[in-house]
Structure 1
């Protein structure tokens, strides 16, 4: 199964996740970058006015891949705007996809919101959606401090805490692809 990981990472936390997944899956990696350097205020304005920032990335043919895994942070309960720009621009070429994020966490309804947002943008449901909460890595006395989450720098060692969730995510996205392929072959035989 040919897989591509497409990621955006503002603080480099999701980049660490993308690189780890690339190692595990031995797949291609595509980094989305901002055309202009971002600051917290521009992120706030993007969210407030639903702006789509200019992005850059290496050319890629998404239809060459059986599965695309998207990785990006969640800002105020929404997928980071640079990834949303990519998804909106490339939606016609995306068939099977999954989404995983390293995010602050703590909001139990966020999973459904992310799934709905992806489905709305791409006109198709994701095969899997997984949130890895930085909140779960913090010491008890740090959990109520927003700065602790925002400033947290993930390490490969931290990812070991999420290994079960990562493996479950990979399995879910692979199972959906295999199931869809077998349904196609059955319909072609009739």
Structure 2
């Protein structure tokens, strides 16, 4: 049996609700700058950042020991049809190699290029073994 680590980012608690029933261990990605709770402002500012390929810094994570897990399960919202910026920052800062990867994405709008964009962020040594979109979030 393989061991699995859940890594997630949740802006408005939708993803937290999704991961609540998933088994431990779980690691939450958090951003350095706090993001406004105003949904209109989020859509404007975060949509702009995503579409203009800007970065969003994340907080350092304690040693999460990625090497000890066979499966890494990412759970993230979709922003402007792409991978949420905190997950992009995580994958740049903590490269994942030689893993089985699961991806669960939450979206209130369209899926856009999110799956393809995610795959481009992964090293070719990884294998995507599961993909799921939870719409209406």
With the length of structure 2 as denominator, give the TM-score of the two structures: 0.82
- What is the 5 A alignment of 1:53-64? 53-56=56-59, 57-64=61-68
> What is the aligned partner in structure 2 of residue 166 from structure 1?
none
Alpha-carbon shift at residue 45 of structure 1 (Å): 3.1
Would the aligned equivalents of 1:68 and 1:94 in 2 still touch at CA under 8 Å? no
In 2: Cα distance, 1:42 partner to 1:33 partner: 17
Task: Provide closer, same or farther for how the CA distance between residues 45 and 114 of structure 1 changes in structure 2, counting only shifts above 3 A.
Answer: closer
Alpha-carbon shift at residue 116 of structure 1 (Å): 1.4
- What is the 5 A alignment of 1:116-131? 116-124=116-124, 125-131=127-133
> What is the aligned partner in structure 2 of residue 32 from structure 1?
29
Query: How many residues matched?
Result: 127
Alpha-carbon shift at residue 65 of structure 1 (Å): 0.3
Gaps of 5+ in 2: 37-41
> What is the aligned partner in structure 2 of residue 88 from structure 1?
92
Task: Provide closer, same or farther for how the CA distance between residues 72 and 92 of structure 1 changes in structure 2, counting only shifts above 3 A.
Answer: closer
In 1: Cα distance, 2:129 partner to 2:118 partner: 11
Which one has the bigger strand percentage? 2
Alpha-carbon shift at residue 117 of structure 1 (Å): 1.3
- What is the 5 A alignment of 1:62-73? 62-73=66-77
- What is the 5 A alignment of 1:33-182? 33-39=30-36, 40=42, 41-56=44-59, 57-93=61-97, 95-105=99-109, 107=110, 110=111, 113-124=113-124, 125-134=127-136
> What is the aligned partner in structure 1 of residue 39 from structure 2?
none
Task: Provide closer, same or farther for how the CA distance between residues 97 and 66 of structure 1 changes in structure 2, counting only shifts above 3 A.
Answer: same
Would the aligned equivalents of 2:74 and 2:102 in 1 still touch at CA under 8 Å? yes
Rg (Cα) greater in structure: 1
For residues 48-101 of structure 1, the C-alpha deviation after alignment (integer angstroms, 9 at most, x for no partner) is 321221112333111110101001100111111001110122224462111002
In 1: Cα distance, 2:20 partner to 2:33 partner: 23
Task: Provide closer, same or farther for how the CA distance between residues 94 and 6 of structure 1 changes in structure 2, counting only shifts above 3 A.
Answer: farther
Gaps of 5+ in 1: 135-148, 150-190
Query: Relative CO higher for 1 or 2, CA cutoff 8 Å, sep ≥ 6?
Result: 2
